[in-house]
Structures are given as C-alpha cells and as structure tokens.
Structure 1
Amino acid sequence: MKCALILLPGLDPVQQDHYRDVLVRNLVTAEASVSILEWGDAGVPDERAACLQVEDGSEQGTTVHVYEAWWGDLVARPEQQTPARAILEGFQLLAYWLHPSLRPAFRQSRFLTLSLVLSSLLLLLWYVGILTAGLAAIGADGSLGALSAKAGAVAEAIGGHAIWVAVAGLLALMPVNALVAIAGFTRRYLTNMATADETGLRDVIRGRVHRILRSTEGQGYDRVVIVAHSFGTVIATDLIAEMSAPVARPLRLITLGSPARVLAYRSRWLRRTLERAYGAPVIAEWHDYYSEQDWMCTTMFDAAQHDGAFQSHRLERDAPLVDRLTGVTHKAYFRDRAVLRGILAALGSQEAPSP
C-alpha cells in the first residue's frame, strides 16, 4: 500500500520541515515497524517529502510519503514602526482579543480559563509597555511642541513607577513577544486581512495546502492522511469546509491540540466553518486528540456531536506547572505514543485507537 501524509504545523517560528522531521524521527523511534527509506524529494515532484516504510504484516508493507504544508513564512515579523503607529496597532490588537464575545470560552475548562486569564493579563501589560515606549519616543522627538512634552511627562510617570519597573522586569522573563505575534497573526487570519493588492491571508494559506493536496492526485496513493497541530487545525478545518464536493478517495484527518473551538467564540466565520466541516463527505475518519494539561486547546466538538467519522481522544498525561505555563505540553503531541499509534492506524498499518 502507498500513502501520503500531509502535516499542517502550528504557529511556531521554526524552519520549514522542522516538525515533519520531528514526527518522522519519533515514528521511527517509538515504533519498531517503521523505518526511513529516504529523506528529501521523495514522492510528488517539486514537493519535499520524507519516505517511510511501515511493516504491516503484508509482503511489501506500506510506503508513506510525509509532506509538510509550509506557511510559516507568511507570519508577519515585528517591523520598525513609528511610535504612533505602534500604539494604534497595539490598541486594535487589545480591543480584538479582550472583546466580550470571548467570555463563554472561559467556561470550557478551569485550565483553559487560567490560560486565557494569564494571556489577557500579559497582553494588557504588553500594551502598557508599548504605550509607555511610544509616548517616550514622541516626547523625545519634540516636533509636536506642548503635546510632545506632555507625552514625555506621562511616559516618565508610568515608566518611573516602582510597580511598573517590577512588571517590566517580569515581562522580560515571559514569552510575551511570541504571544503578541500569535495574537496578531490569528487576528489577521480570522479576518482574512489583505495587504496591498494581494488576496487575504486565509486565502493564500488555503491555496498552498490545496496545491499539495492536488499534487497527490494521480500519484497512486491508496490513502491520504492530514495531520494538523495547534493553529494548523484551524487551517485544516477551513480546507475541509471548502471541499464541498465528494472526492474519489476520502481523506483521513487527525487534529492535535486544537484552539479552534475557543477561537470560534471570537470569529463568526470560524463557527460557520466548523459547522460545515463536521460531517463533511470528504472525510472518512476524523480523530481529535487533546489534553487537559495543554492549556492552549480543548476538544473540537461537544461529546453529543461525536459519531462514526469524528472521534475525540483525551490524552492522560502528567506535567509540571511550568510546562503548562510555557506551552511545553502543547508541543508534546508529536512524541505521544497514543498519537503516533493513531497516525499509523489512519495509514492502515495498525488497529484504530479507542476513543
């Protein structure tokens, strides 16, 4: 048998193919039946893929080509901005994520509630820092006369306060910049924000994944499995929802640590997308993995919505508090034995896991 596995990574600033290689190495390490045949350009022409051989009891076994649908280069990095522009964009970001529509998400779980509270607090403190730095720069410029002097005085009052000095030191130890980058990108994606004369960000990313999916057609694959992690699950859901027409070979979808259900409280578009993706005819199997020790996710659908195609799997694991706070548990799916066995089951080389 010959299968294609397409990986959709999350919002982590790493190089292309990093998580594809992590997944391949862990499959080989954890499962004695899996071996690497080739790294590099195996599989579809013009697409980078690793080739695996899985012993499944048959004479030839299963050949698996592992692709990564890369979109990390579309994540905007911090740019040089005027102080006034930085203050304005920071306010827009704050207004978007502290919107009252997110209140129902706090009832999902006590762990997720704590994560959302901490994230909101860090975002608020970050904006105070941006505001202070922006006002200080305006005051130092002096081109606005009395207004510049006023801005400088306010910045000095905030920045010189003992409490803020302590808070600024604490923020330097926390991954605040990563949090802000994720919040900014997510807002641009959910609103399909466009730049200049280009199409929206969401359209561009969906097009890239579609390209790889189309490239697998006519290559003799018996199965195509999509593995999506973190924000990649939102992209996968969008992809599935857009594929309204039945396909000759239904897809198998595995979602890991998805924030989609929480983000859907803030985005009407995402709520509709989840509704359309659930039960889509293009999906033969959908296995969703989550952990209560991962404070950045929850199950994608209510238990009442589980049926033959969609199955939810709660992973039982213990993790120290520091790992939950810093997001280590959010990256642990690629080394979880239950997840690795589930991926091999979707490829047809093991028994399907129990929900």
Structure 2
Amino acid sequence: MSDSDREPVARKRRAIILIPGLKREERFVRRDILINNLETVERHPVSRVGEVVVEGEAGLRLSFEPLRSAESQGGHAESASDCLDVFEAYWADMIPEQTELPPWAKLFKGLELVGYWVFSLRTWRAFFSSLVSGSFLIAFGLIMGGLTLVVWYLLLAVLVGQAVAPGGAVPDNLQNVPLMADMIALFGQATGWLASHAWWAVLPFVLTLLQVDAIVLLARFIKDYFENQEDENGVGLRDRLRKRIATTLRAVMAADYDEVVIVAHSFGTVVATDILADWPHRADFKRLTLVSLGSPITVLRYRSSWLEAERKRMLKHEGLDRWVDFFSPSDWLCGEVTGHRGRYGEGMSRRLSFEAPWPQKLSGRTHLLYYRDPRVLECLVAPLSGLEASATAEPA
C-alpha cells in the first residue's frame, strides 16, 4: 500500500491546564517546570513548537514526535495527540506578602491563627482520623505544624513583650491605668523570663530550618480562603480566586480541543474541587480529565464544612468520569482523596513512593516531586485510551 492509499490520521489537540499549589512565585514558573519534565518522557516524546494564545490565555505548544517503529511504517506515533498545549491558571499573586503590623496587632493576629489551627476540635479530628487510617506521616505533619505555630507565637510574644514592656517596665502613657498597667507589667516579666534562657536564642535558627514563615503564610492564607475573608472592596478571597481560575478554565474549554486535562497540585486540588463541583457547563465534562497531585483535601476537609460538601458533590458527579489521584506516603502534606477510590476504582487512585532522604521528607520538599515523577508525566502525555486502559492495570 502506498502512502497515498493510507487513511489520513485525524489531528488531535489536547490541552493541559495547570493549577499550582500555594506558593508565591512568578507566573509560568510552575508551568515551565512541568514542561521541562514532560520533555523527558521517552515513550511519548514531545518537543516545544512555540507559544499559543487562546482567548487571551497564553500557553506553550508541544508537538508529539513519532517513534522510530511508527515512523518506519510511515505512520504517526500510536494514538497520540498531534499537539499538546500547556496553560497555567495563575493565582500566586493573590497570596499576600508578609505585612508589617504594630506589635499588639501582630500578637492578636497570631493568637487568632494559633487558635484556629491548634485549639480546634476539627484539627484534632483530622489528627485522630490519620492515626486510625494508618497515615502516620500525615499525623506527624499535623503535630509538627501545630508545635511550630505554638513556638512561633511564643517567640512573637517575646519580641512584642520586650519591645513594649521590657522586663515589666510599663509605658508612661499607661502607668495611670491600674489594670492595664498590671497586665502589661506581668506580660513583660513573663516574656523577659523566657528571653533570659540561653536555649531561647536557638529557637529563631530552628524555626528558620523548619521554614516557619512559609508555614505561617500557608496557615493564614488557608484560613482566609475557608472564611472567604473580604478585601478592601468587600469581595471575598474565595470568590476572587474562583473567578480567576474559572476565567482560564472557560477560555481553554471554549476552544476546540479534543481533550482537556486539569492538573491540580497541592492546594490547587482544593481550588479545582471547589470550582468543578459547581461547574455549570455540563458538556465540558465529556472531554475533561482531572489529575490531582498531592492533595491535602483528606485533612483540610475536617477544617472546612463547605470543602467537605464540595468533595462529596464531586464524588457524586455524573459527568466527571476520569479523575486520577496521585498521592505518596513520603509526602506528609497530602493523602489519598477520601472516597475517590470507591468512586473511580483502584486504577485511578495511584500511590507513589518517592526516593528521597529523610531530611527532604521532613522539610516537605517531597511535596514538589510530583512534577518530575515519570508515572505522573507519562499519564499526562499518554493517549487518553491508554489512561482508561490502565485504570485496571495500575492499582494503588
């Protein structure tokens, strides 16, 4: 049979929309990291073609390269899409930077944060649930996170106490207010006693190693997102973030792609669940695949009643037929999405084991290894038929 007698192979177009996790970075940083690693997949090789713009959303186009076995027969790479466009639903600029507050404001804000996470029955329910389910690393992560917040707050209290009332010295303008003066004097004496211990000088160094600033920022942002804290215009954080992500999703979904894969990492899985559970365009689900990487929903669902409701709604969703959930016991920031395996089957729930030293696991850096795990990457570039076939071949 000559080349002219062969049936033409229809072009297929696939889009990937990456929803990154909770980390303040420049736009396209995570997208480019993902693309750099997609180019290392050997079974389905891809190469960059150039930029592509869809309804104002900028992405990068990858082209599938035929394998030699297929090329020698004059065909295309088996069942592969001819092009793959990668977009990023960017929202990292909505994560606020650390702001300088007056000493007392710092103290009360910190106390509110510690109370929300540490002295909450919901948090302790998540802890005991992790123990019962055998997710000991997640339970360890919750304990370490809580202790870090408490120690951070004590250090903050010492700094405020020594700045406002060093050694119990009451400011002149408050000396004539008996009750207030006594309380400030007691506070200054207590924090001065803590600061006088030699081991206290080591704490800032230890907290730096534990990346306490990142933990505090993450804890504060999640709290504000769950509570839908309003900005100066009176619009809630959750509402603004949903609108930002949904704008990118609508633009790409409206294009003529044969397949659309939403790749959500870390807290991005919470945002994706929040949006897709209420997605009004039902026809989009026919060509949609959701891939979640290192989701914290299994823990955070205890802290937010509306997130738990959205999770249940997603699992009952009749339109979303393909949801692949990657998780790793080496990652104490995530866990298997609760109820996912029962809804989508063993093959769609995929457990990964990262080869990483203990310091990297304890510091949480394994949470970023999904971007270069070969099983994740091959899932993203493999033909959709291959994904569905592997649903019974690769159980967790």
Q: Same fold (TM over 0.5)?
A: yes
Q: Which residue of 2 aligns with 1:186?
A: 222
Q: RMSD across aligned C-alpha pairs, in angstroms?
A: 2.3
Q: Which residue of 2 aligns with 1:48?
A: 58
* C-alpha deviation, 1:155, in angstroms: 2.6
* C-alpha deviation, 1:144, in angstroms: 2.8
Q: Return 5+ residue gaps in structure 1 as ranges.
A: none
- Of residues 298, 302, 312, the one that matches 1:261 is 298
Structure 1 segment 1-355 matched on structure 2, within 5 A:
1-31=12-42, 33-40=44-51, 42-55=52-65, 59=76, 61-98=81-118, 99-106=120-127, 107-108=129-130, 109-139=135-165, 142=171, 143-145=173-175, 146=181, 149-244=185-280, 246-250=282-286, 251-302=288-339, 305-307=342-344, 311-345=348-382, 352-353=389-390, 354-355=394-395
The structure-2 alpha-carbon separation of the partners of 1:34 and 1:299, relative to structure 1 and needing over 3 Å to count, comes to same
Contact 1:105-1:262 within 8 A present in 2 as well:
yes
Q: 2:197, 2:114 → 1: CA distance?
A: 23
Deviates more, 1:341-350 or 1:126-135: 341-350
SS in 1 for 2:47: strand
Q: Return 5+ residue gaps in structure 2 as ranges.
A: 1-11, 176-180
Percent identity of paired positions between Structure 1 and Structure 2:
33
Q: 1:111, 1:350 → 2: CA distance?
A: 29
Contact 2:44-2:64 within 8 A present in 1 as well:
yes
SS in 2 for 1:65: strand
* C-alpha deviation, 1:286, in angstroms: 0.1
Amino acid at match of 1:138: V
Contact 1:53-1:64 within 8 A present in 2 as well:
yes
Contact 1:279-1:309 within 8 A present in 2 as well:
no
* C-alpha deviation, 1:12, in angstroms: 1.8
Q: 2:164, 2:45 → 1: CA distance?
A: 60
Larger radius of gyration: 2
Amino acid at match of 1:206: R
Contact 1:246-1:281 within 8 A present in 2 as well:
no
CA offset digits 1:218-241 (Å, max 9, x no partner):
421111110000000000000111
SS in 1 for 2:202: helix
Q: 1:32, 1:121 → 2: CA distance?
A: 45
Q: 2:19, 2:368 → 1: CA distance?
A: 14
Amino acid at match of 2:218: I
SS in 1 for 2:292: strand
Q: 1:225, 1:304 → 2: CA distance?
A: 19
Amino acid at match of 2:210: M
Contact 2:333-2:364 within 8 A present in 1 as well:
yes
* C-alpha deviation, 1:91, in angstroms: 0.6
SS in 2 for 1:332: helix
* C-alpha deviation, 1:263, in angstroms: 0.4
TM-score, normalised to structure 2, is 0.83
The structure-2 alpha-carbon separation of the partners of 1:281 and 1:246, relative to structure 1 and needing over 3 Å to count, comes to farther
Contact 1:16-1:70 within 8 A present in 2 as well:
yes
Contact 2:253-2:284 within 8 A present in 1 as well:
no
* C-alpha deviation, 1:254, in angstroms: 0.1
Amino acid at match of 2:300: L
Q: 1:13, 1:39 → 2: CA distance?
A: 26
Contact 1:3-1:65 within 8 A present in 2 as well:
yes
* C-alpha deviation, 1:266, in angstroms: 1.0
